[in-house]
Amino acid sequence: MTGSVVDRVHAEVGVDPYAAPIPVLARALQSIRAATGDELMRTAVREVSGPSAAQSEKQRVSLVKILVALLPGSLSALNDLLIRRSGPDSYEVQFSIFCFLNEHPLVESDSRLRSQLLRSIDVYLRSVRSRSAQAAWMAGDLLGEHWRPEEAVPVLRSVAQEATYVAGREGALHGLAHALERVPKREQWDIIGLLRQVAGRDRSAEVRSYASHILDGLRGL
């Protein structure tokens, strides 16, 4: 069958990748043969890096959702997409990955896969140079608001202090702001202490200002 991967998936399993929730799409894709799934994955990676995905938000999101739904087999492919720094389009793809990554049922039930993905996000935040497409912000949002706090908060705390570039440190701070609402009171105060430290000592005026902005919103905590 010819056509884009999105059209092929829709035709072969009867599910629209753009509209379907990740769990529904993942279940539908389980019905295809392993060889077909591998071929779809390779083609999806190629298409999500091409002009059609760059020009169409719907196409980009559909392709990313297919790749996420193919976890754990697509883990390597997703990691390859997360290390690309080929321009604004690559960051748009990364933003989309972080939007959907936690929605696969295996991310909750498979501790090994969850650990591998957490490591990938950690590496991403420590190395990302650009705020383009708010991808680093969304990575922090994913960990702070949607990940298990006991796993995510140590990563976010470390990244907020150690990431090489402003984008990663700001992304981690954004995640910590969300995590504050999900952790016990004692840990809230630990996070606030870190925010105060960053607000006073970070080498970037932008990061210091962002940490101060978060603190300003916590007056009633």
Q: CA angle, 105 as apex, 95 and 47 as ends, to 5°?
A: 40
221 or 211, which is more confident: 211
| Statement: residue 2 has pLDDT above 80 | no
Q: Extract long-range pairs of 193-202: CB within 8 Å, 24+ residues apart.
A: 194/157, 194/160, 194/161, 197/161, 198/160, 198/161, 198/169, 198/173, 202/169
Q: What is the pLDDT of residues 147-183, one digit of tens each?
A: 999 999 999 999 999 999 999 999 999 999 999 999 9
Tokens read off for 55? 């020009």
pTM (two decimals) = 0.94
- Whole-number mean pLDDT of the chain? 94
Mean pLDDT, rounded, for 46-66: 92
| Statement: residue 107 has pLDDT above 60 | yes
Mean pLDDT, rounded, for 94-112: 97
pLDDT band at 23 (very low <50, low <70, confident <90, very high): very high
Contact predicate 60/18, CB 8 Å: no
Contact predicate 59/52, CB 8 Å: yes
| Pairwise CA distance, residues 55 & 52, whole Å | 5
Q: Give me the pLDDT at residue 1, please.
A: 41
Mean pLDDT, rounded, for 57-85: 96
What share of the chain has pLDDT > 90, as a percent?
88
